[in-house]
Amino acid sequence: IGNSRDFGPIHEYILDKHLAKKFNHERIILAILPDNDCDGMDSQKRKDRYFPYFEGKYPDYQLKYSIRSLDKSSWKLGNPKDDRPLKHFLLNYTYTRNLYDYIGALLDNWSLGRNIRQGSYQKISSFVEYDSEKWDMMKYSYEKIIEEAACKKILFFTIPRMKDIWWYKENRTSPLGEKLKTWASQFPNVYFLDLLPLMSEVVPSHNWAELFNGCDRHWTKKGHKIAAELIMEKYGSSLY
């Protein structure tokens, strides 16, 4: 379950409820990317978009949207309130914007790698830096997916990025992973695997960069292969 661009647990629940569950399937595999999944639950950052969010306190949430309808979204192509016509034009008819984003991401990733190698990277891992309100929304979204699954087997696994692996190597802790593991244990049809400690151990520190694309911090082909092998080693016989 997933999509690109500001897509978090609430979106995953909505996608599962209204679309994914209509397809014939026996199990669900859901990846958790702590580095940006929490941002995908923050409606205050997306006031100009048709963006879902929860209002209330766990477990008494109401699903709301940041604006009244999709037609009002400034992100909808052709909306007169859209303030990004140049970006749309460059994306649709040229490679200029893509090249700009690519170079920017390369420089950002190069800076991140340099700071990590020099020991000067100070940001805390997203496996550590999250608040209780976002955690409640996350687990509620997943509990609704479990409810919709009607006893189908579900695997949740975490996706660490390079900064998370670096943090784990230095601190040997994965608070969000431990919390998810405890939470998942209450459901007989749910499996959970925290890839942060596993990927930290299976790859020597000088080879971490081989796991991640230089342009967007997502896994490379090798990163995906290692993740798949770790998942199948742990749960292959249980899921299939």
**DSSP states along 183-230:** HHTT-TTEEEE-HHHHHHHHS-GGGGGGGB-TTTS-B-HHHHHHHHHH
Query: Can you tell me whether residue 64 is helix, strand or coil?
Result: strand
Structure tokens at 152: 């189908």
Q: How far, in Å, CA of 21 to CA of 29, rounded?
A: 13
pLDDT tens sequence across 158-172 = 999 888 888 888 888
pLDDT in tens, the chain (240 residues): 556 667 889 999 999 999 988 899 999 999 999 988 877 677 666 677 788 899 999 999 999 988 888 777 776 666 655 556 777 677 778 888 778 888 887 787 777 667 666 665 556 778 888 888 989 999 999 999 999 998 899 999 999 988 888 888 888 889 999 999 999 999 999 999 999 999 988 877 657 778 888 777 789 999 999 999 999 999 988 887
Q: How far, in Å, CA of 96 to CA of 60, rounded?
A: 46
Report the Cα 28 to chain-centroid distance in Å.
Answer: 16
- 10 within 8 A of 46, measured Cβ to Cβ: no
pTM: 0.84
